[in-house]
Amino acid sequence: MKQKLKTLLHKDGPWAFILLLPSILGFFIFVLFPVVASFLLSFTSWDLLTPIKWVGFENYLKLFKDETFIKVLWNTLYFTAVTVPIGIIISLFLAVALNQKIRFIKFYRAAYFLPVISSMVAVAVIWQWIYNPEYGLLNFILSLFGINGPSWLSDTKWAMPAVMITSIWKGLGFNMLIFLAGIQGISESYYEAADIDGATWFKKFIHITVPLLRPTTFFVTVMAIIGSFQVFDAVFLLTQGGPARSTSVLVHYLYQNGFEYFQMGYASAMAYILFFLVLAFTLIQFTLQKRREV
Amino acid sequence: MRKWIKLLFVMAMVFSLILAGCQSKESSSGGGSKDGVVTLKFMGWEASPLETESVKKGIAKFEEAHPNIKVEYTPVPGDQYASKLLTMMAGDAAPDVFFLGASDYRSFQKRGVLLDLTQYFENELDIDDFIPSSGGIMSIDGSIYGVSSCTVSPVLYYNKDLFDQAGISYPPSNPDEAWTWDEFTKAAAQLTVKDGDKVTQFGTYGFETFANTIVGILENEGSVFNDDFTATTINSPQTKEVLEAILTVKQNGYSPEAKLLEESGMSASQMLQTGKIGMLIEGSWALQQLAQMDFPVGVAALPKFDVASTTGQAHLHSASTNTKHPEEAWEFIKFLSSEEYQTDLISSGLWMPNRTSLYTEEGIEKWFNADVHPEEFKELVPYFQNAAVDPFAINKLNQIDDIMIEELDKFWYDGQPSEDILANIERRVNEEFAK
């Protein structure tokens, strides 16, 4: 018996389990349970206070007849379609630029990373000022070029681009950092060989950097798409979804339904639509990535 | 096999990123009664530092008079107050006594979470002692689930200096002499000052704020809902007339873009103070701030369309059905609605009284404060007393306001015709009611 305990204590398996227990428990209580619960809730009508009522697929059917839901779904897709590619391209170029041996390089890297660690609340306050049609920095700069800037956050056509610009700016540093790590993992010998062949900077970028960064790009793209499908704080802080719901996105409408309109079941159904959307996009990307690997 | 592992990985990743919602259960409410002392948990929102301070002062007074009751006050940010209260109730951790916005009162009551106070109320208070708008909000089919705190109403503020400079007479405070819409637009035109193409001083601002637009519609004898609040009646010639009138003022350049102000970093009150706008339509609570701003502020009745009227509403004080100390909760709610408690906040300009006893000549003397209330304010007093019930205090569905605001945004900022907007509102709101 004693011997058995001794060997058990010397084995790694049980220890690993014990040490992992806090996060495993956390996962079960705070992730898995709510995930399963909200799936079941999506088939019910529940306001958090009165007894739960089973309604079957009614919430899902209602969703596709809800014109506000269709609108926020489009807004979400629009937001993703613009912010993901632009954000990735800019951060890739930044990463390449910040991989040069120039003076104060650490300062520049830190400067681009700063927005990532800044509080969105503070960022939103600054950008609200930048976007101000009368006193704002953006319209001042535009006016130097003779352009009469719109009233960014109160125009139904310009409010969404404004939110996008802020979001791209905020997320740039994170993607840049991952690209930078990826670039530094590429062996110098490829570039030396290319130099001998007389390749230009652009050719080296297209034929060495981009292909060898593919796993990194894949990771960044998956994360960026997931992140932008779930955008909430930028919208909530800059425009509250307005004007005329032109910047309201899925998670914002979900929040309103759950906590303002007393429709937790309906909100859960929305969460699952969002989940399947993200799952579909992610699987498509995995398939595409695999095909390239072959 | 590997494919499945990959799939699981993806699912786990996606799940954990999307749905990290958590349900927290706090320890249940209602402090134990050690030595016969009962602790009441009390939650409110932070409307202004002054209000919080008054609440704390009030609590001290109450505890002094009731040594057996201790009140634990938690102020939370106003923005997500209702969501916070909702989740606390769902987690069985509701405070014993709490603020409740007039527009949330009926939706919470419908769900059976508010303590029925009717018996207590009828034994000690009389609904006829409250002004009609407060009484109308409190009473749900003759029962009481919360006691009105005060009343607030949209009014017209103006900067007397700008009127003097332009040589125009002040807008009348006496509601019986309220300006017509034409007189109002004429003054707005005279108060608008241009420097070249740029407007340096606007005549007015605030009528396109939702609550104020609603007052305009009611003043024009239009309505927002039918009598039993099961459909909207907003699509009417009366509404259209009001919307077009407000838009014309904007299009003539007498009124700045609403959101332009919000984004300028200056509050509307500051715009009035610094002479950027001559007249401001805003809730009566703003007087507290305006009176401290060191400029000659005037308060008047809103311009009338057909009749001079405003709407009244204010938060209520309610108790949870799960409270272990209903008697003590009632004692505290009663205190919060007392003349004694209201008077301080009324004198500061933040509130207006909801008791008819404070609208008599003697009553007014109790709270009238020459440092805050301009001299003509006394003439305006009946305006609050006779205010109509704010229709959104009776409507139970919060999504209705959002739909209306969304559609009206298209009218104010997107140039869409009022007929289309009103037809949209009618269709979408009635669909929502039918659900």
Q: Please write the tens of the pLDDT for every residue from A5-45.
A: 677 667 788 888 889 999 999 999 999 999 999 999 999 99
How far apart CA B281 and CA B301 sit, in angstroms, is: 10
How far apart CA A76 and CA A229 sit, in angstroms, is: 6
| Domain extents in chain B | 34-152+313-389, 154-309+397-434
How many Cβ atoms from other residues are within 10 Å of residue A143's Cβ? 11
Q: Please write the tens of the pLDDT for every residue from A149-186.
A: 888 888 889 999 999 999 999 999 999 999 999 999 99
- pLDDT reported for residue A290: 83
- pLDDT reported for residue A149: 84
Cβ of A43 under 8 Å from any chain B Cβ? no
CB B176 within 8 Å of CB B406? no
Q: Please write the tens of the pLDDT for every residue from A212-237.
A: 999 999 999 999 999 999 999 999 99
User: 3-state SS string over B182-235?
Assistant: HHHHHHHHHHCEEECCEEEEEEEECCCCHHHHHHHHHHCCCCCECCCCCCECCC
Q: Which residues of A touch B258 (CB under 8 A)?
A: 154
How far apart CA A38 and CA A44 sit, in angstroms, is: 10
- pLDDT reported for residue B142: 93
Distance of CA A31 to the CA centre of its chain: 19
- pLDDT reported for residue A2: 66
Partner-chain contact B22 A230, CB within 8 Å? no
A131 has pLDDT over 80:
yes
CB A38 within 8 Å of CB A272? yes
How far apart CA B8 and CA B14 sit, in angstroms, is: 10
Nearest to A128 among B87, B263, B405 (CB): B263
How many Cβ atoms from other residues are within 10 Å of residue B351's Cβ? 25
Mean pLDDT, contiguous 10-residue spans, chain B (435 residues): 52 48 38 71 85 87 93 88 92 94 94 95 93 95 95 96 94 95 95 86 92 95 94 96 95 79 72 92 93 93 93 95 94 92 90 93 93 93 95 92 93 91 96 90
Cβ of B210 under 8 Å from any chain A Cβ? no
CA distances from B10 to A28, A33, B292 (A): 17, 18, 58
Which chain A residue shows the shortest CA-CA distance from B414?
A156
Q: Quote the minimal CA–CA distance from A199 to chain B in Å.
A: 39
Partner-chain contact B260 A274, CB within 8 Å? no
Nearest to B413 among A37, A47, A156 (CB): A156
Instruction: Return the closest-CA partner of residue A232 out of A163, A278, A281.
Output: A163
How far apart CA A261 and CA B435 sit, in angstroms, is: 13
Let me know if A196 is exposed, middle or buried by CB neighbors in 10 A (0-12, 13-18, 19+). Answer: exposed
Q: Which residue of A259, A264, A273 to mutate against B (max B Cβ within 10 Å)?
A: A259
Structure tokens at B377: 């304010």
- pLDDT reported for residue B200: 85
B101 phi and psi angles, rounded to 5 deg: -60, 145
Which chain B residue shows the shortest CA-CA distance from A132?
B263
How far apart CA B85 and CA B111 sit, in angstroms, is: 13
How far apart CA B359 and CA B70 sit, in angstroms, is: 33
- pLDDT reported for residue A292: 73
Q: Please write the tens of the pLDDT for every residue from A177-218.
A: 999 999 999 988 999 999 898 888 889 899 999 999 999 999
Residues facing residue B97 across a β-bridge: B42, B319
- pLDDT reported for residue B23: 36
CB proximity list for B8: less than 8 A, separation 6 or greater = none
Average pLDDT, chain A: 90
- Ranges of H-type helices in chain A: 2-10, 12-26, 33-41, 58-63, 67-97, 105-117, 120-131, 137-144, 159-184, 188-196, 201-204, 210-212, 214-229, 233-238, 250-259, 264-293
Residues facing residue B147 across a β-bridge: B317
Residues facing residue B75 across a β-bridge: B44
Q: Quote the minimal CA–CA distance from A110 to chain B in Å.
A: 26
Cβ of B20 under 8 Å from any chain A Cβ? yes
CB proximity list for B174: less than 8 A, separation 6 or greater = B301, B379, B380
- pLDDT reported for residue A76: 96
- pLDDT reported for residue B20: 44
Helix B237-251, helix B210-219: angle, nearest 10: 130
Helix (H) or strand (E) holding B82: helix B81-90
Cβ of A149 under 8 Å from any chain B Cβ? no
Q: Which residue of B6, B15, B431 to mutate against A (max A Cβ within 10 Å)?
A: B15
Q: Could you tell me which CATH number the domain at B34-152+313-389 has?
A: 3.40.190.10
Nearest to B259 among A32, A154, A230 (CB): A154
pTM to 2 decimals?
A: 0.85
Q: Which residues of A touch B87 (CB under 8 A)?
A: 48, 259
Task: Tell me if domain B34-152+313-389 and domain B154-309+397-434 are identical in fold.
Answer: yes
Partner-chain contact B259 A50, CB within 8 Å? no
| Long-range CB contacts for residues A100-106, cutoff 8 Å, separation at least 24 | none
ipTM exceeds 0.90: no
How far apart CA A21 and CA A126 sit, in angstroms, is: 42
How far apart CA A202 and CA B278 sit, in angstroms, is: 61
Which chain B residue shows the shortest CA-CA distance from A131?
B263
Q: Which residue has the tokens 């009473």?
A: B139
- pLDDT reported for residue B259: 59
Q: Which residue has the tokens 């699987």?
A: A283
Cβ of A99 under 8 Å from any chain B Cβ? no
Q: Which residues of B touch A62 (CB under 8 A)?
A: 435
- pLDDT reported for residue B28: 39
- pLDDT reported for residue B34: 54
Q: Does domain B154-309+397-434 have CATH number 3.40.190.10?
A: yes
| Long-range CB contacts for residues A273-279, cutoff 8 Å, separation at least 24 | A273/A60, A273/A63, A273/A73, A274/A229, A274/A230, A274/A250, A274/B18, A275/B14, A275/B15, A275/B18, A275/B19, A277/A229, A278/A225, A278/A226, A278/A229, A278/A230, A278/B14, A278/B17, A278/B18, A279/B10, A279/B11, A279/B14
Cβ of B398 under 8 Å from any chain A Cβ? yes
Grouping H, G, I as helix, E, B as strand and the rest as coil, residue B11 is helix
